[in-house]
Structure 1
Amino acid sequence: MTTLNGKTLLIVGGKSGIGRQLAGDAESQGAQVITVGRPELDLTDESTIRALAERVGDLDYLVSLAADPANGPVTELDRDAVHRAFDAKVIGPILLAKHFASRFRPGGAILLFSGVAAWRPAPGRSVMAATNAAAATLAQALAVELAPLRVNALSPGIVDSGAWDEASKDTFFATVAQRNPARRVGTAADISAAALLALTNPFLTGTTLHVDGGGRLA
């Protein structure tokens, strides 16, 4: 494994519980972490991505955690919301790759975030399924095009990351845990550990890591 000590890690959309956990874990291993989110970076505006690349300069690792879900029945979806969902998960990462590809030091890596909805679609989650599947496929394509820069995707399952409604999450989590082969929901620490593995394993590229407790199988 490659050590994180002295490496520069950029986390895009890293204000979430998972992003905070990843930043803290990477810093504890000696990485210099730069975390950006809205309103500092607008993934729908290429000029802000270009400016970020110029400001950051050379780096070792980039993680894109950005998401802008467009959930609901497909018959009621708003077109602009669908576009924003693809901007966050697919178009934005393409533009990140465009402007950062030449800035990675040897051994560098990109990690995109997919999600279990791509493998276990549900009513009202068609856009989430499509964007997450696209992110996983994009990681494969970029791994080929940008080689030897490594590119992977990580597909979390249901994670207690602080994003769920407090009023109903206990019942929901209990149901998920009962169904999952792992018999539990995930934690931000679970996802962070897998993300660091994807970033630092020099023989891992073009792969989607499923960190979902087996949820896609249940």
Structure 2
Amino acid sequence: MNDPARSTLVDQTVVIVGGSSGVGLAIARLASQSGAKKVVLIGRSRDKLASAATDVGGGNVDIAPADMVDSAALTAAIRSAGTIDHLVLTAVADEKKRIGGIAALSDAQMEGAIDKLRGFFFAARAAAPILRERGSMIFTSGASALKPSARMSILAAVNASVVTLAHALAIELAPVRVNALTPGVVDTPIHQGEEREGIRRWAESELPARRFGQPSDLAHAALFLMTNPYVTGQNLVVDGGLVAR
């Protein structure tokens, strides 16, 4: 039996940490289009958040500037939304700065990579008391969690930890649903110029899906995780077949 309500967010509040660009912004657009009563965008730059809110439009978007590794500021930003239905975590550190052989990685590079896990922990702790009983959390991981490669050891470890944190919280916070979302290569602003074109060509020739992932691909996956009441404790991989190669 079809249930149209499953694909909508009518009268619900969605908080997106990392919502000013890329995957987070695409999720914000789709959440607004799917009837969300309020979409709250959290990120470090007030100007980027304001631009994203204008992009989403609809009059149902609030912004709350905060750095996710600032526990107090992030907690205040999340709780400013009041009771929430969904927490979506998409913020990432600059991964290019965390790539390197283990012997050459600095303490600062390691700490910067771990900031993702630290920030996601702060966000989940802040949101847990204000989530509706059958709300949800989504933790965005990365394909390196499932398919590590040379020079990406610390990123692989952090992304795998994000997935494990989501699985553990699905048990601890039930009936709140907690899932991980794992993208492959996605066409976001972190890829620019010749690098972006190189990735696009590689994706179109080497990935089983034969295309460069788009933020909208991840947004629709996130909507599924927010609206399907029987999915929890899972890691949804949306990677064009990268891990299967």
Band the TM-score falls in, shorter-chain normalisation:
over 0.9
- The reply on whether 1:86 has 2:114 as its aligned counterpart is yes
- In structure 1, what is the Cα distance between the partners aligned to 2:147 and 2:11? 39
CA contact under 8 A between 2:43 and 2:68: conserved in structure 1? no
Distance verdict in 2 for CA 1:21–1:2, change over 3 Å = closer
Aligned to 2:147: 120
Report the aligned-residue RMSD.
1.5
> In the alignment, what sits opposite 2:71?
46
The offset of 1:151, in angstroms, is 0.3
Long gaps (5+) in structure 2: 1-5, 46-64
Deviations 1:34-90 (A, max 9, x none): 1011152222222112222332221000001111122222222121232222122x1
TM-score, length-normalised on structure 2?
0.84
Give the superposition deviation at 1:95: 1.9
Aligned to 2:15: 10
CA–CA separation in structure 2 for the residues paired with 1:104 and 1:9: 10
Identity %: 37
- Alignment-derived partner of residue 57 in structure 2: none
Partner of 2:105: 77
Aligned pair partner of 1:57 in 79, 82, 88: 82
1: CA distance, partners of 2:139 / 2:149: 22
How big is the shift at 1:20?
Answer: 1.4
Q: Which amino acid aligns with 2:163?
A: A
Counterparts of residues 1-218 of structure 1 (less than 5 Å): 1=6, 3-31=8-36, 32-39=38-45, 40-68=65-93, 69=95, 70-88=98-116, 90-218=117-245
After superposition, the Cα gap between the structure-2 partners of 1:113 and 1:179, relative to the gap in structure 1 and judged at 3 Å, is same
Partner SS, residue 4 of structure 1: coil
1:167 is paired with a residue whose SS is helix
User: Secondary structure of the equivalent of 2:77?
Assistant: helix
- Aligned residue pairs total 217
Runs of 4 or more consecutive aligned structure 1 residues displaced over 6 Å after TM superposition: none
Task: Indicate conservation of the 8 Å contact 1:2/1:202, yes or no.
Answer: no
> Secondary structure of 2:240's partner?
coil
